[in-house]
Amino acid sequence: MQKAIYPGSFDPVTFGHLDVIQRASRLCDAIVVAVANNDGKKSLFTIEERIELIQEATSGNEKVVEVTSFDGLLVDFARAQGALAIVRGLRAISDFEFEFQMALMNRKLDPTLETIFLMPTEEYTYLSSRIVKEIARLHGDVSAFVPKAAAAALATKFSA
């Protein structure tokens, strides 16, 4: 069983994340989507909300065996899950430096764990949860960037 972890903040999940999950599911037998609980970022959505939005968006993908949160080091979570690899999306050169640093640090922490970078379709190269939140906060249309449930949840958050 080739299991991979797809970790992230997912605040909220976007079509870019879903594109990466789709690509990963062609390579792996099982994918665990792992929402980081302690990455120090102030998030708009609670962990439970983020998990629910991902679950809803991936319910048709049988390779996604679990959507859960994790505390502590990613490598410890991946080891506990029996995963062989960490999947990360790489959109542009601007992602590279941080991703490279993280991948090499994770390798130092656990040399048995590989990081696999997958590039989402070009259409989503510019897409990020941060930009989507900004658009939603200013009451713009985000339906081309996030699943329906996430668009509705964003509208509710910024309805005041």
Among 3, 4, 5, 7, binds ligand PNS (CB under 6 A): 7
Q: Which two tokens stand for residue 147?
A: 């699943």
Rg, C-alpha atoms of the chain: 15
Least distance in angstroms from the C-beta of 159 to ligand PNS: 25
Active site residue 91: yes
Query: Among the options 25, 43, 50, 129, which is catalytic?
Result: 129
Active site residue 88: no
Element (H, E) at 155: helix 148-157
Q: Is 106 in the site for ligand PNS (CB under 6 A)?
A: yes
Query: Among the options 50, 88, 91, 133, which is catalytic?
Result: 91
Active site residue 41: yes
**CA 55 – CA 33 distance, rounded (Å):** 9
The sign of the torsion formed by the CA atoms of 105, 110, 83, 42 equals: negative
**CA 160 – CA 146 distance, rounded (Å):** 21
| Beta carbon nearer to ligand PNS, 71 or 141 | 71
Catalytic residues: 17, 41, 91, 129
The footprint of ligand PNS (CB under 6 A) covers 7-9, 36, 39, 73-74, 102, 105-106
